Structure 1
Amino acid sequence: MDFDYFYGRDAESFRFIRLPIVLIEDETFKSLSIDAKVLYSMYLSRSTLSYKNNWVDENGRVYIYFTVEETAAQLACGIKKAVKLIKDLEKIGLITKKRAGQGNPTKIYVKDFMSIFRNEELRSIKRENQDLSKGQVKNGDFDNSRVAKKESLDLSKRQPNHL
């Protein structure tokens, strides 16, 4: 085939999945096949859409729906290979599946591949920021503002009413 070149902004007009380089370079993920890594990248992409659609469980965790049949179709492989790829991702801990009952699709929780590289202190800060109490506002994902501290009222300076 004789494919044409990209001209100007044409190169920006396509949907892409992102394959994090750490999945290729880090020893932790060396056992995963490139097909499993591509599937995980597809899951990451779907997670973004799930978040926008508010597919979040009672614990605030985003989940996706991605069937075995859809996996096989997207990766142009058989059902057995699709099942194996999903199991490989589950075995290494990049996803967790939760069955939703008879006739309902299985929820897939896509886990944060970078979480194993962060220290415990950063994880606790992340959880703290997600649990904003009533009266506290977070303006955006990249908000640098601080949460206002509630200070107790100092009543000792006031004089009581005596009738």
Structure 2
Amino acid sequence: MTADTILPRFLPYPYFLLKMDLSHTARLLYGLLLDRSTLSQKNGWQDSEGRTYIVYPVSEITEMLDKGSTAIKSALNELDAAGLLVRERRGFSAPNRLYVKIPQMPVVQFSDHMTAIQPENRPSDSRKSDPHKDGKPTFALDGK
């Protein structure tokens, strides 16, 4: 990769998802719904209260994520229970509206430069290794 490399399309993955007790499918689905919400914002899909909503049938989500409908419905329930999604039923044969919620997060300021982690300050996973043996790392477990 160089400075001129064009990146492929990607999903947004908010950092707060890393600390939430959600399944991987629910996390991936949230990123997909968040991406879809930006499209709804651009197209002006807003309700009478000014909230952006999306219409995304379960059948399309299952196709996009290559998961079964049961797994997607379970992930939608997880996101709903975690307060990251609100589903509004619209009536017989009308598509449901999905409202993606963004939790209130404290504002954190980051410095403009990155600090390299020195080898002696790197986090350890408590495995002992000999990086020079046969050019491949070897690991000795502590018996824990």
Rg larger in structure: 1
In the alignment, what sits opposite 2:142? none
Number of residues of Structure 1 aligned to a counterpart in Structure 2 = 107
Higher helix share: 1
In the alignment, what sits opposite 1:64? 54
The answer to whether the aligner puts 1:91 opposite 2:81 as a matched pair is yes
The one of 11, 14, 24 equivalent to 1:20 is 14
Q: Check whether the contact 2:25–2:72 (CA below 8 A) recurs between aligned residues.
A: no
Instruction: Provide structure 2 residue ranges, at least 5 long, that are not aligned to the other structure.
Output: 108-144
1:27-46 map, 5 Å: 29=20, 31-46=21-36
Shift of 1:11: 3.5
- Per-residue CA distance 1:86-145 (angstroms, 9 max, x = gap): 1111111100000111111100000013x1x349xxxxxxxxxxxxxxxxxxxxxxxxxx
Task: Tell which has more relative contact order, 1 or 2 (C-alpha 8 A, sep 6+).
Answer: 2
- Per-residue CA distance 1:37-89 (angstroms, 9 max, x = gap): 11101111111110111100111100001111111111111111111011111
Provide TM-score, normalisation by structure 2: 0.68
What is the alpha-carbon distance in structure 2 between the residues aligned to residue 100 and residue 66 of structure 1? 13
Give, as a single letter, the amino acid of the residue that structure 1 aligns with 2:4: R
Provide TM-score, normalisation by structure 1: 0.61
